[in-house]
Amino acid sequence: MPGDKSISHRALILGTLAVGETRIEGLLEGEDVLATAECMRRLGARVNRLDDGSWRVWGVGVGGLREPAEPLDFGNSGTGARLVMGLVAGHPITATFVGDASLSRRPMGRVINPLTEMGAYFHARDGGKLPLTLTGARPALPISYTSPVASAQVKSAILLAGLNAPGKTTVIEATPTRDHTERMLRAFGAEIEAKEGPGGLVEIRLTGQPELSPCPITVPGDPSSAAFPVVAALLTPGSEIVVKGITLNPHRAGLYTTLIEMGADIEVMNQRDEGGEPVADLRVRSSRLKGVDVPPARAASMIDEYPVLAIAAAFAEGETRMLGIHELRVKESDRIAATASGLRANGIKVHESEDGMVVEGRGGDVAGGGRIATHMDHRIAMSFLIMGLAAQKPITVDDASMIATSFPDFIGLMRGLGASFAGQAQ
């Protein structure tokens, strides 16, 4: 599987803040991550890909960023943009952030608000949207911030800004989110702790102005990307595949827990630890699935996987209820609306609400034949191409080009498993 996108972004960013050479194996070479690599170069780091496929980052240290002469272009990457806003906000430099049409529609206020409290200044379009210009704090102020949304991007942006702030920066979460930033900060030598506070809240506390030391990073396989061949194997009769080396970080494994509850034959094998991340192989066999109620508290651990879960739900017996997922409204597209529309176009009944949807499964009898508006969203495109594998008629997506942002070899890998594609996806 391609390297984990979340970990790849963070490896490049923290490598930039370390003093010396950081070696990265398995970096995802999708468009989103390559955009972050280029932005790190513009901020002063040396970032090179070697002939063996590994990467090297020669960092400038905390406080050592260079003011970029050109805008920082993040393409379609909300993760890259929001995390680097935190990085820049903690340094006394000015940078302009730009992205493609899809990213320019996405709200940045959830990151702008806490970073403004830390002393940064933003000049942005209405709604806090790109393009925007950010002037970092002089100096950054440590804050204690209770996040109003379950967002690892918000948490990570604050922690990255807090690296160049004196004293302790604290983020308080009601719902724990993916902890890749905390794990990697510890590996680079930062002093950071997470503990449960009053009322079950989680407090993450970072001591600022450390000297970060380079450490080798091996990026595990991306569980969000693995979701597509896994669901394809579950839905296509007679299938059996092994997916190797994906992270099963408990803050990322919610989809696999849910699929097993639905009756999926998924065997977890060869569990191990790589670079502080729990990693395993998965053996997946085609299965008859049943509808379930997905606990809203699980949403943060599988927020990117709901579109492909909805595909599995369409082939299951009975209803699958997915609530507490309002965050999907502000992803690369409105993923609740896009998923519901695509399901209806292929003969599936779905009940959409502001924060979720209920899918009425057809027990394997899915008509297909629909044409999907992807809204420039790679996960919508891949999800409905997977649906086409097991539907009675082929399914068409209006654009597959953006799949390269997260899974450059999606078409090639799925063809290797027996899938047939026609049209521009070739």
Q: Where are the beta strands (DSSP E) in 221-295?
A: 240-247, 265-274, 277-285, 293-294
CA 151, 157, 163, 169 torsion-angle sign: negative
Is residue 295 over pLDDT 70?
yes
Report the chain's mean pLDDT, rounded to a whole number.
Answer: 95
Stronger pLDDT, 424 or 245, i.e. the higher one: 245
Phi then psi for 49, rounded to 5 degrees? -100, 130
What is the model's pLDDT at position 326?
93
The residues carrying an active-site annotation are 304
The CA-based angle 134-136-138, given to 5 degrees, is 150
Q: Are 98 and 71 in contact (CB under 8 A)?
A: yes
Report the share of the chain in percent with pLDDT over 90: 92
- Residue-wise pLDDT tens digits, 146-192: 999 889 999 999 999 999 999 999 999 998 999 999 999 999 999 99
What is the model's pLDDT at position 126?
85
- Residue-wise pLDDT tens digits, 96-141: 999 999 899 988 999 999 999 999 999 998 889 999 999 999 999 9
What is the model's pLDDT at position 190?
97
- Residue-wise pLDDT tens digits, 340-374: 999 999 999 999 999 999 999 999 899 999 999 99
Is residue 424 over pLDDT 70?
no
What is the model's pLDDT at position 425?
47
Domains, the chain, in order of start with CATH, read: 5-206 (3.65.10.10), 223-416 (3.65.10.10)
Give the span between the Cα atoms of 78 and 286, in whole angstroms. 34
Q: In which order are the strands placed within the sheet that holds 46-49?
A: 46-49, 55-60, 19-25, 217-218
Stronger pLDDT, 409 or 198, i.e. the higher one: 409
According to DSSP H, which parts of 164-320 are helical?
Answer: 180-187, 223-235, 254-261, 306-315
pTM: 0.89
Residue 276 confidence class, pLDDT cut points 50, 70, 90: confident
Average pLDDT over residues 369-388: 97
Q: For residue 85, what are the contacts with CB-CB under 8 A and spacing of at least 6?
A: 97, 108, 111, 112, 115, 134, 157
Q: Are 371 and 384 in contact (CB under 8 A)?
A: no
Average pLDDT over residues 30-52: 97
